[in-house]
Amino acid sequence: MSEIDILSQIADLKEVDYKNTLMVVGLIELLIENGLINKSQLIKKSKH
């Protein structure tokens, strides 16, 4: 596998990671907006 192939795969992974992060943030915002969770619950769970 060439260096270019490896760098291309890393770039693809970064894009997927970015899209997944946006999706998670959107889901969290929807859960908070709909009153299913609040920020303190989310912080407490993430520290656990």
The token duo for 29 is 């915002």
- Whether residue 39 contacts residue 32, with contact meaning beta carbons closer than 8 Å, is answered with yes
Domain positions in the chain are 1-33
Q: Which pLDDT tens digit goes with each residue over 11-47? A: 999 999 999 999 999 999 999 999 999 999 999 999 9
Write down the pLDDT at residue 1.
Answer: 76
pTM, entire model: 0.72
Query: 43, 28 in Cβ contact below 8 A?
Result: no
Q: Give me the pLDDT at residue 9, please.
A: 92
Report the candidate in 31, 10, 9, 39 with the shortest Cα–Cα distance to residue 23. 31
What is the total residue count of the chain? 48
- Cα separation, 14 vs 35, whole angstroms: 32
